[in-house]
């Protein structure tokens, strides 16, 4: 099966309705260019509110079934016949999660993934808002392939990518919100951010799609400039397409059958030694 994938990056404002409308316009444009799977950035219906600890921001959360972003993108996926992973701020009873649901090309909701790794640092204070995800790492069987999904900080952990690959993912998708460091503006993590995911693709021989946001967003105590750089790799980690800091989308074609044959021929999964990997289950590597 050949699949055309897209990654969208855009600047956002304080009006959630306008952000969702902008996202739908970008998806329409990507679909018109032939995209069958379109990845939007992390928490695209709002500004990146995690810069500050503010109780008022909890009002942005909603259950999956009625979340405005999920509702709008479900209708759009059905209309356009495309697969849409949708990142959103989820309220579940008294708990809150940084979540993602995958909408298949017929508009069916295939299920939920809750972000497992939650960062906490200057400008990225996500632990104030989100509980650690309790879904485990999930692969979704869609019309256009088996998609392994994770969210932003998850992308720095090779264990995430390996588990998704072991569970049959044919493409790894990472919606993202990353940019400057408020207390260390001289740091540009974009090259490191790109390379770590190229490594996931190469180590698992599974292509990666990453969609990051762009634009300068002001918090109460600082600001972040999101650097974009959304990209798509092949199964060796080589870049097939990469955006700069401008708004828009990128496209790449993937041959899933050819990739599956290459993984089988290379023997990476045949030669694994899970009996030796017990130390991964501990924090200090001694278990």
Q: What pLDDT, on the 0 to 100 scale, is given for residue 222?
A: 87
Local confidence band at 71 (pLDDT 50, 70, 90 cut-offs): very high
pLDDT in tens, 98-124: 999 999 999 999 999 999 999 999 999
Active site annotation includes 127:
no
Q: What pLDDT, on the 0 to 100 scale, is given for residue 45?
A: 98
Q: Is 76 helix (H, G, I), strand (E, B) or coil?
A: helix
**Selected catalytic residue, list 22, 50, 90, 115:** 115
Task: Say how many residues make up the chain.
Answer: 287
Active site annotation includes 22:
no
Written as one string, the DSSP assignment of 94-123 is TEEEEEEEEE-TTS-EEEEEE-S---EETT
- Angle subtended by helix axes 190-204 and 158-166, to nearest 10: 30
Phi, psi of 237 (to 5 degrees): 90, -5
Q: What pLDDT, on the 0 to 100 scale, is given for residue 105?
A: 98
Q: Please report which residue ranges of the chain form alpha helices under DSSP H.
A: 16-32, 68-80, 158-166, 190-204, 256-266
Q: Cβ distance 14 to 257 under 8 Å?
A: no
Q: Look at the block and give the residue holding tokens 């969702």.
A: 20
Q: Look at the block and give the residue holding tokens 């030796």.
A: 276
Q: Is 50 helix (H, G, I), strand (E, B) or coil?
A: helix
pLDDT in tens, 211-247: 999 999 999 888 999 999 999 999 999 999 999 999 9
> Strand 145-149 to strand 171-175: parallel, antiparallel, or no bridges (unpaired)?
parallel
- Distance of alpha carbon 41 from alpha carbon 10, whole angstroms: 8
Average pLDDT over residues 160-166: 98
- Distance of alpha carbon 101 from alpha carbon 87, whole angstroms: 7
Handedness of CA 199, 287, 273, 118 (dihedral sign): negative
- The 8-class DSSP code of residue 148 comes to E
Which of these, 165, 177, 171, 240, lies nearest to 204 by C-alpha position? 165
pLDDT in tens, 126-136: 999 999 999 99
Q: What pLDDT, on the 0 to 100 scale, is given for residue 81?
A: 98
**Selected catalytic residue, list 22, 42, 170, 217:** 42
Strands (DSSP E) found in 176-277 = 208-211, 214-218, 223-227, 231-233, 239-242, 248-255
Local confidence band at 252 (pLDDT 50, 70, 90 cut-offs): very high
Q: Cβ distance 31 to 82 under 8 Å?
A: yes
**Selected catalytic residue, list 22, 90, 126, 152:** 152
Q: What pLDDT, on the 0 to 100 scale, is given for residue 17?
A: 98
Q: 89: which 2 tokens?
A: 């701020």
Q: Cβ distance 50 to 93 under 8 Å?
A: no
pLDDT in tens, 253-271: 999 999 999 999 999 999 9
pLDDT in tens, 170-188: 999 999 999 999 889 899 9
Mean pLDDT of the chain: 97
Active site annotation includes 152:
yes
Q: Cβ distance 242 to 249 under 8 Å?
A: no
């Amino acid at each position: 099966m050949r699949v055309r994938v897209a990654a969208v990056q855009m600047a956002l404002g304080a009006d959630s309705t306008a952000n969702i409308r902008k996202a739908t316009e970008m998806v329409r444009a990507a679909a018109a260019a032939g995209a069958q799977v379109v990845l939007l950035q992390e928490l695209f219906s709002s500004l990146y509110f995690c810069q500050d600890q503010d109780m008022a921001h909890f009002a942005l959360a909603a259950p999956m079934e009625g979340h405005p972003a999920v509702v709008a993108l479900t209708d759009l996926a059905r209309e356009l016949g495309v697969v849409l992973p949708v990142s959103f701020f989820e309220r579940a009873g008294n708990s809150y999660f940084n979540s993602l649901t995958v909408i298949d090309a017929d508009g069916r909701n295939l299920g939920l993934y809750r972000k497992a790794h939650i960062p906490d640092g200057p400008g990225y204070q996500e632990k104030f808002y989100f509980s650690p995800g309790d879904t485990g790492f999930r692969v979704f069987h869609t019309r256009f392939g088996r998609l392994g999904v994770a969210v932003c900080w998850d992308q720095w952990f090779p264990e995430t990518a390996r588990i998704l690959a072991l569970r049959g993912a044919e493409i790894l998708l990472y919606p993202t919100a990353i940019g400057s460091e408020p207390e260390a503006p001289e740091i540009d993590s974009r090259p490191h951010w790109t390379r770590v995911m190229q490594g996931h693709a190469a180590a698992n021989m599974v292509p990666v799609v990453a969609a990051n946001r762009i634009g300068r967003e002001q918090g109460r105590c600082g600001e972040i400039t999101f650097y974009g750089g959304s990209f798509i790799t092949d199964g060796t980690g080589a870049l097939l397409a990469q955006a700069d800091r401008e708004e828009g989308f990128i496209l790449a074609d993937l041959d899933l059958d050819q990739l599956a044959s290459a993984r089988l021929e290379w023997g990476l999964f045949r030669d694994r030694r899970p009996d030796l990997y017990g130390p991964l289950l501990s924090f200090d590597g001694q278990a």
